[in-house]
Structure 1
Amino acid sequence: MHLTIRPAQQDDAAVVPEIMLQAMEDIIFRFIQKEDKKEAIRFLTDLFQQTGNLYSHENTFVAVDPEGNVMGSLTGYNGDHFIALRQPILELIQKQYSNDLIPEPETTGQEFYIDSVAVSTAARGQGLGTELLKHAIKHAKNQGFKQIGLLVDLDNPNAKKLYERLGFTLGNKMPFVGGEYYHMYIQFV
């Protein structure tokens, strides 16, 4: 399958939030305080279409097939901007869902942080997640970051193996929204 990876556009919102939700369903359900996929997609769609937040189209790359169908996405950003990018989400979950949750920081900064990577069910098992991660690594290097990082769920050993194959090193264990994760990273020379 030949795919092109490009920056997301606002009109990719028709499909990207549903793909993104696969990568962070439990977390989004905690934000909206219910296990409702339609509501979770609406929540992510609103944020994806806006600017200046963690889940914005401006922080997302998409993989598109020759017909223009989005088959996967990767959302990442400058970790130094995490607190500012998280604030609109905290305000939205408080205003819309009366949720005062303030999750632990996912990144301590000083890195390009990969927030989520997800592949549509139609494209799974074809190496698309790997290609999106390689794209993010190249992007981080080209932007002058000294490090790229992400969190991996302790209960997801297959993802951990994938990240290790790509050169990520296992870092500290850390809690996040009720789960336990490892911070994994690649330092650039």
Structure 2
Amino acid sequence: MIRQALATDAPQIARLIIHAMEDLASKFVGQSDPLKAIPLFEHFAGLRGNQYSYENMLVYEDESGICGAISGYDGADLNLLRSPFLNYIASSYNFKDIPEDETQPGEFYIDCISVAANKQGQGIGKKLINAMVGQLTNSKHTKAGLLVSKDNPNAERLYTNLGFKIADERQFMGGTYYHMQCAV
């Protein structure tokens, strides 16, 4: 079942975010082990008004618990939503980089999609994407966008099969990504 995330889902959401981000999560906390970032993402997933907030998340839950999550928000709100996170990691983890913009106004940005390793290949990611994009049909948004690593052809194939097309390439936090978009 797909549902709106709750603040109490933060521990499960944090692990899913780490699973999706891997090395990127490590950079935010200045550690080599991405799992060291769990407390950071648990903190922000449970708060309002930031890019990793439960407010911006849908979760997939089955009999085993939460095993998938997707987050998204209006691209025009990127700086507003990311600033609490960046301020916190600057003061708590001495993170001084300024990440490139992942999105822009006029786009609904899908920030993070993650399915637990033991649940992959069951269509959960597809269901989450369709649910998130489906919520946009009566909104002001005409397109949804996301970034996918050029090193992740399986994810690129999934997004292509769901109607996303490569709009351009972007550099983000030291990696090269396809910026993909679909009409909603």
Q: Shorter-normalised TM-score: what interval?
A: over 0.9
Q: Give the counterpart of 2:48 among 9, 34, 51.
A: 51
Q: 1:13 aligned to 2:10?
A: yes
User: Where does the alignment leave 5 or more consecutive residues of structure 2 unmatched?
Assistant: none
- C-alpha displacement at 1:109, in angstroms? 2.1
Q: 1:161 aligned to 2:161?
A: no
The whole-number CA distance in structure 2 between the counterparts of 1:10 and 1:74 is 15
What SS does the corresponding residue of 1:106 show, helix, strand or coil? coil
Render the CA deviation track for 1:138-188: whole Å, top value 9, x for unaligned. 012232311100001011111111111000011111100000001100123
Q: Relative to 1, partners in 2 of residues 1:68 and 1:124: Cα closer, same or farther, differing over 3 Å?
A: closer
User: Where does the alignment leave 5 or more consecutive residues of structure 1 unmatched?
Assistant: none
Identity of aligned residues (%): 38
Instruction: Name the residue aligned to 1:116.
Output: 112
Instruction: Name the residue aligned to 1:179.
Output: 175
The whole-number CA distance in structure 1 between the counterparts of 2:72 and 2:103 is 11
Render the CA deviation track for 1:58-89: whole Å, top value 9, x for unaligned. 11100011x37101000111111001001011
Conserved 8 A contact 2:25-2:34: no
Render the CA deviation track for 1:79-108: whole Å, top value 9, x for unaligned. 110010010111011100111111001001
1:12 partner letter: D
Conserved 8 A contact 1:152-1:182: yes
Give matches, 1:21-36, under 5 Å: 21-36=18-33
Q: Give the counterpart of 2:138 among 136, 142, 145.
A: 142
Instruction: Report the TM-score, using the length of structure 1 for normalisation.
Output: 0.93
Q: Relative to 1, partners in 2 of residues 1:38 and 1:181: Cα closer, same or farther, differing over 3 Å?
A: closer
Q: 1:92 aligned to 2:88?
A: yes
Structure 1 ranges of 4+ moved more than 4 A: none
Instruction: Name the residue aligned to 2:100.
Output: 104
Instruction: Report the TM-score, using the length of structure 2 for normalisation.
Output: 0.96
The whole-number CA distance in structure 1 between the counterparts of 2:51 and 2:144 is 16
What SS does the corresponding residue of 1:142 show, helix, strand or coil? coil
What SS does the corresponding residue of 2:131 show, helix, strand or coil? helix
Q: CA RMSD in A?
A: 1.2
- C-alpha displacement at 1:9, in angstroms? 0.2
